[in-house]
Amino acid sequence: MAQTIGKIQTRLMREYYKYFSKYAKGKTPESKVAWVTSFVPVEILEAMDILYYYPESYAAVIAASEREQELLAESERQFLTTDCCSYSCCIEGCVSLEDGPRGKLPKPDILIATNNQCNTLPAWWNILAERYNVPLVILDYPGEDMEKEIAYRYVKSQHDDLISELEKLTESKFEPEKLANVISNSERSVKAWQNVILNLRTKDIKPTMLFDDINYLITARCKEQTAELYDMMASELSQKEEITDGKIPVFWIGYPLWYHQDRFFSEIMYDYRIVGSNYITWWNLDYSGNNSSEKLFNAYNYTFLNLSQKTRNARLSKLIKESGAKCAISLRNKSCKCDFVSAKDISIPKSEIEIDMIDRSFLDIEKATGVLELLKTTIH
């Protein structure tokens, strides 16, 4: 079984990276290429046979490969201050030096960004648009404070426009049935992933695996094999031993530390066990609706970071309750103002630790150790 899981993972990753310069050996993609942000309705692109790449994900790979410092320094040389989100700085360094652990990303024919997670991404995509001189599409998602009907009309017009723009780019006709199929793949992937992460609370699994494996839901959510992969993983995990280590169950609020081999500061968390994380639920998109337009609207207008504080609080409280966590570690991420406020109103004891998900120099491990020691004393 593990062999098959491994095989699917390799196939998906090989497919994703095949046009990165390290593996492409000079071959260029036959299809058009889009660079997208994490919550772009990629189902539309998949249905139109457009290849899409996620610079944010590549920044995580760069940090995991211990290459972030040199690229962050290059970003400063490109006049982009490292006060900005480190994902963007890392990629700015990478595209400027045309270097990275897997080489260069395939050159984009179009850039698509959304504001349903933050406002940084559209600004970042603007600097990419200047560099590559290709069309830039910004999709604007009002979120939940806006009357649903108005928001739907606004989002639908933008999705329709995007489709027309892509028809022009690819010189091919959009096929609605293909989109419906692709959306159902995404729905299946989300359901299967939910079954995977359910196991974190009770089974003997390292969160590292989940922090890494959510990558398929991000970069390949509408591929048929993703649901298959997650179904296998869920079934394998459910057979694992129940955990009985007596460690303090803790909820992880924020991003994984991409530069860390375990994705969390495992070396100072020996008394704690991560039983839940909001990050691993962010791509559990809700594709409800009667047709493709409604499904895409619901999935992408109501992403976690596009919700009001009140709804976020409610969602987070529910997740924490279900996880059985007795306390929380809330990460104050230099890169991400939007995620700062996720843990504002939670009812269990929590400690804040200052980090950056990419730049390892931000973590003061001694201070973090002290904070975790203190947290222990607040738990009864």
Interface with ligand SF4 by CB under 6 A: which residues?
A: 56, 85, 87, 117-118, 120-121, 335-336, 338-339
Beta strands 327-333 and 272-277, pairing class: unpaired
φ and ψ at residue 36, rounded to 5 degrees: -125, 160
CA-to-CA distance for 23 and 34, rounded, in angstroms? 19
Least distance to ligand SF4, CB of residue 357, Å: 7
Q: Interface with another protein includes 334 (CB under 8 A)?
A: yes
Q: Which does 81 bind (CB under 5 to 8 A by kind): ligand SF4, another protein, none?
A: another protein
Does position 146 interact with another protein (CB under 8 A)? The reply is yes
Tokens 């729905």 locate to 187
Whole-number Å distance between alpha carbons of 352 and 293 = 40
Which one, 206 or 332, has the nearer CB to another protein?
A: 332
Quick one: which of 9, 104, 135, 154 contacts another protein (CB under 8 A)? 154
Q: Confirm if 353 and 368 have CB atoms less than 8 A apart.
A: yes
300 near another protein, judged by CB under 8 A: no
87 binds, among ligand SF4, another protein, none (CB under 5 to 8 A by kind): ligand SF4
164 part of the interface to another protein, by CB under 8 A: no
Is the CB of 234 or the CB of 353 nearer to another protein?
353
Structure tokens at 2: 């593990």
Nearer to ligand SF4, 126 or 235 (CB): 126
The distance of closest approach from Cβ of residue 332 to another protein in the complex, given in angstroms and rounded to an integer, is 7
Q: Name the β-bridge partners of 65.
A: none
Choose between 49 and 147: whose C-beta lies nearer to another protein. Answer: 147
Rounded Cα distance between 115 and 19, Å, is 27
337 lines the binding site for another protein (CB under 8 A): yes
Residue 354 within binding range of another protein, rule CB under 8 A = yes
Residues 124, 85 contacting (CB under 8 angstroms): yes
Question: Is 163 one of the binding residues for another protein (CB under 8 A)?
Answer: no
Q: Should residue 332 be labelled a site residue for another protein when binding is judged by CB under 8 A? A: yes
85 binds another protein (CB under 8 A): yes
In the complex with another protein, which residue's Cβ is closer, 85 or 192? 85
Closest CA to 355 of 344, 371, 376: 371
226 or 335, CB closer to ligand SF4? 335
DSSP strands (E only) in 67-221? 110-114, 136-139
Say whether residue 168 binds another protein (CB under 8 A): no
Give first-to-last CA distance, the chain, whole Å: 41
What are the Cα distances from residue 179, in Å, to 43, 163, 193, 292, 295? Answer: 6, 11, 21, 7, 11
Q: Contact at 8 Å (CB) between 299 and 277?
A: no
CA–CA distance, 356 with 83 (Å, rounded to integer) = 11
Q: Which residues bind another protein (CB under 8 A)?
A: 78-81, 83-85, 88, 92, 115, 118-120, 122-127, 129-130, 136, 138-140, 142-143, 145-147, 150, 153-154, 157-158, 161, 308-309, 332, 334, 337-338, 340-341, 344, 354
